[in-house]
Amino acid sequence: MILSLKQEKIKVIVALDYKTRLRGLMGISPIYYGMLFPKCNGIHTFFMKERIDVVGLNESNQVIYLYRNLPPNRIVRIPYSNKKTSILELPQNTSLKISMGETLIFEDEDII
């Protein structure tokens, strides 16, 4: 998938299977793409090599949580009780182009 953010396009991998969800962005450097974790309200950055931005999304892909420049070895939990939340991990400082309440639009790679 592709996420368009104000003149910039970012590749996003959707973590659907167990192995992809388990590995996430651990050990990757530099991080040049994002990873979307559907039906998720908490992540950790153990074994990460660099800082990331964490964006919490509700069921409509509206931004309900932002954490910029999260360092390695941290745990983040979105304070939102709905089970339909998702978490989007992005390269450091990418979320500067995102604001609370904004609805993110993901496109298939074939479209671009």
Q: What is residue 79's predicted lDDT score, i.e. its pLDDT?
A: 78
CB 104 within 8 A of CB 61: yes
64-100: pLDDT as tens digits: 999 999 999 999 998 776 678 999 999 999 999 999 9
Q: Which helix (H) or strand (E) holds 10?
A: strand 8-14
pLDDT at 105: 92
Whole-angstrom distance, CA of residue 42 vs CA of residue 81 = 11
Average pLDDT, the chain: 91
Average pLDDT over residues 14-18: 94
The whole-angstrom separation of Cα 9 and Cα 106 is 10
